[in-house]
Amino acid sequence: MNGPLSQLLQGISQGRPDIILSALVVVVLLLLVCFPVHEFAHALVATKLGDDTPRLYGRVTLNPIAHLDLFGSILFLIFGFGWAKPVPVLPNRLNGNPRTSMAIVAFAGPASNVLLAVAFAILYRVSEPLLGTGGPVMNYVIPYALQTAVFLNLILALFNLIPIPPLDGSRILAALLPDQGAQIMDQLERYGFLVLMLVLVALPSLMSSLITEPAANVTRLLLGY
């Protein structure tokens, strides 16, 4: 167990308010900001492209309650990875080529998290002269929250670009493949979650090199340190 719940319990047992605050910041940012913005982007773009299914399901909103998946949220708290509820989209209702339009809808999620990371980085840069000049809030909580917001959004963007169903990267790849390759991707969909779990468990170093390390490098670049 290496999720924020473990970190929170560690902070409580050690009487460390800094560790407790760190865990709470991660939980709030991911569950109440990163996940909802990601799914909202999918829903909004799908609606703009002609499919009103997300609107009918109440997903064109930033309200976290509409997007959070109970099981995915619990897994995130315990293990440090999880997911939100996928936005229902009917490709045949989208304008233009269904695969291309679906790829655009899929790309909207990771793109929204990259934009959010840039926004938090700008906020950090603008407020940087004031950080570290006051009490614990200005010295620790706000800087940590902004830095973590940048990192988590980049992690979420890169993770979702992995071309394994049901992640967004698989939809993007399907649009680039010839029809036969796209059909193979469609067939892989039913086993995608299992394949993804096997990759996460069996190849953690690969996931680190593809996701964690690039996200950390870009975070340092955006924050200027």
**b (16+ CB within 10 A) / e for 143-175:** bbbbbbbbbbbbbbbbbbbbbbbebbbbbbbbb
Which helix H or strand E contains 103, and what residues bound it? Answer: helix 98-127
3-state secondary structure of 70: helix
Catalytic residue from among 39, 128, 189, 213: 39
**CA–CA separation, 10 vs 222, rounded Å?**
30
**pLDDT by 10s per residue, the chain, length 225:** 567 888 889 999 999 888 888 889 999 999 999 999 999 999 999 999 999 999 999 999 999 999 999 988 988 888 777 789 999 999 999 999 999 999 999 999 999 999 999 999 999 999 888 776 666 666 677 888 899 999 999 999 998 998 888 889 988 988 888 877 767 777 777 766 777 777 767 777 777 888 889 999 999 999 998
Residue among 158, 24, 34 at smallest CA distance from 84: 34
**CA–CA separation, 178 vs 79, rounded Å?**
37
Backbone angles phi, psi at 178, to 5 degrees: -65, 170
The reported pTM is: 0.90
- 145: its two tokens: 């929250």
Residue among 192, 198, 200 at smallest CA distance from 167: 192
Contacts of 107 (CB under 8 A, 6+ apart): 168, 172
**Is the bond preceding residue 17 a cis peptide, omega within 30 degrees?**
no
Our answer to whether residue 128 is catalytic in this structure is: no
- 121: its two tokens: 């980085």
Q: How many helices (H) and strands (E) does the chain have?
A: 14, 0
**CA–CA separation, 80 vs 78, rounded Å?**
6
Q: What is the DSSP letter of 132?
A: T
